[in-house]
Amino acid sequence: MKLLSLHVDYIKFKPLKKALKKIPDLPEKEKITKEMKDALVVLISVEKTDSDMKKIVLELVKNVKDIAGQVKAKNIVLYPYAHLSSNLASPEKAVEVLDETEKLLGKTFKVLKAPFGYYKEFELKVKGHPLSELSREINIDGASSGHGQSGEINVGASSRLDQSGEIRFDKSGMEDKESYDYKKLLREISKSRLDTSKLKENDHRIIGQQMDLFSFNELAPGMVFWHNNGLIIRNELINFWREIHRKHAYQEISTPQILDSKLWKISGHWEKYKENIFLTEYEGRQFAAKPMNCPGGILIYKTKPKSYKDLPLRTAELGVVHRQELSGVLGGLFRVIQFTQDDAHIFCTEEQLKNEISDIISIIDFTYEKFGLKFDHVELSTRPEKRIGEEKMWDKAEKALEDVLKKKKVKYKINKGDGAFYGPKIDFHLKDSLNRTWQCSTIQLDFAMPERFELEYTDKNNSKKRPVMLHTVTYGSVERFIGILLEHTNGRLPAWLSPIQTRILSFTDRNEKYAKEVITKIGNEIPELRIDADFRSTTVQGKVKEAEMARIPYIIVIGDKEEKTKNLAVRIKGSGKIESFSIDGFALRIKKEIEKRR
């Protein structure tokens, strides 16, 4: 069984029509829109391997109660959702499981069950806290988890292959071989193909294919294969991020991806995120692929004693993190398993707090202004019911965040009770050209980790004090931000971000020589310009169409007229207009545009 739990402000759903003929018709009173507020929505796929109905129901109830307890939810919505699995149980079995689960949960919670076997429209708003989205997989009596090892042989402790692939022998001296047919395995590796039938034309996955930016493959679910063009965009965003953070006196750090599980138990992530952490073992020790960057940065802080003169200490990390997700909820760059998070952590005194928060807001504002993205709203999330720290500390922290927002004249909403358990936070929700809102940037105050890790600094009076810790991200997930940017611009990125900034097309073969001279001259003026050429013996119309499909901002056609006048006919940013430039004039324009990141 696969689950996806969403802690929501509200959910509305309405059955539209039957998806399965054998399912009984709903009575008219059940065909209306239903709504539940402040609920835990549990999306459920019952699978063929869920053979023991009694055990699977009890385990499902146990998991729902566990998650509901963590997020303090009193309302439960059971929502049958076939898209989490490709190994679904029979409709009869699924209905039986859902009905029994509803009965058992109904003794403790207010439960609403969405109808099974119907197409439904639904709308929901997920809360923004760390536990608002959790995926789980339930296996009973060793049933296959969906991540099984089909075609592999389990090798015993007394006989195995070593890392080089050499044959090892057991104690009896008998040769032990792992048998496999690599050609058969090769045939099983299907080339990943994008199903565009259900995607809108401006979906970032379609744009990514047209611009040759990235791809996905089932051999690495939820992990991006960056092609050269996509990696250019990613690297340019990272260069911009680094430039900004250097100017604001951040030190860039990098921490390991695999860390001992002890670290996550100290940090508190173990209790909250264990279900979503990838675990492995090495020499009898349990390790975890990091789901977050902050604990690694804290270990760097602890490497040597700190004085008040060292604070504020601003560190920043482009850390690659991994979080387990069910394959059914993965969606292009928007929801992945492996992603790069642009974390920054500030260790400061209480007196420095307001200045640091103000500086972070300036960084966020400057960054998003550069991309033409505006904030729809800003939320100040206050103390939750389940929290750590003294009340006077929460009073001081919430006031610090609110004072800075007021001083900077930022319009904001109070999101009461939705802060993290370790401190209040500010969330920035941006709006794109498609009128969608996205929460990307955040500023979080943290009391928990300095306490749990016993962080200290020596003050002016030579006394030991706890620093305050601020967590912040600007892009959030770099991968997700690229997806947002591609759909916001429909792939028409500014020149500084474009993988190919200029393309030269020859009108005929006789213009090729002069076109190469133009490339050389522009290249000498702007050595870092990403410029290429299309000299194929095909129609200019076809070449232009391909260049437009690749969203190249400047397309230059060289024909007899251009060769004679020594001017350039330039198509600009998909506008359809053709403007005439001298070679020097065009080089000056694009150079300024790239340098100023316009």
Give catalytic residue positions.
Answer: 294, 323, 341, 343, 345, 425, 471
What CA–CA distance (Å, rounded) separates 489 from 479?
16
The helix or strand, by DSSP H or E, that contains position 89, with its residue range, turns out to be none
**Total Cβ atoms within 10 A of residue 281:** 9
**Distance, CA of 365 to CA of 344 (rounded, Å):** 16
C-beta separation of 250 from 314 below 8 A: yes
CA distance 27 to 298: 58
Residue 438 corresponds to which amino acid?
W
Q: Write phi, then psi, for 347 (nearest 5 degrees).
A: -110, 120
Torsion, CA 21, CA 23, CA 27, CA 30, rounded to 10: -110
Q: In this structure, how many other beta carbons lie within 10 angstroms of the beta carbon of residue 233?
A: 22
Cα–Cα separations (whole angstroms), residue 565 to 407, 523, 562: 58, 20, 5
Report the candidate in 470, 467, 462, 464 with the shortest Cα–Cα distance to residue 451.
Answer: 467
DSSP string, 325-338: --GGG-BTTTB-SE
CB 423 within 8 A of CB 133: no
Check if the beta carbon of residue 65 is closer than 8 Å to that of residue 108: yes
Among 492, 507, 487, 520, residue whose Cα is nearest residue 564: 507
Q: How many helices (H) and strands (E) does the chain have?
A: 16, 28
**577: enclosing H helix or E strand:** none
**Distance separating alpha carbons of residues 187 and 178, to the nearest angstrom:** 19
In three-state secondary structure terms, 339 is strand
Residue type, 555: I
d(CA 272, CA 265): 10
Contacts for 359 with CB less than 8 Å, ≥ 6 apart: 248
Q: How many residues does the chain have?
A: 598
Residue 420 DSSP class: B
Q: Residue 67: count other Cβ atoms within 10 Å of its Cβ.
A: 19
CA angle 569, 570, 575 (to 5 degrees): 130
Upper half-sphere CA count for residue 596 (Cβ side, 13 Å) = 7
The stretches of 72-171 forming alpha helices (DSSP H) are 91-105
The full DSSP string for 548-559 is: HHTT-SEEEEE-
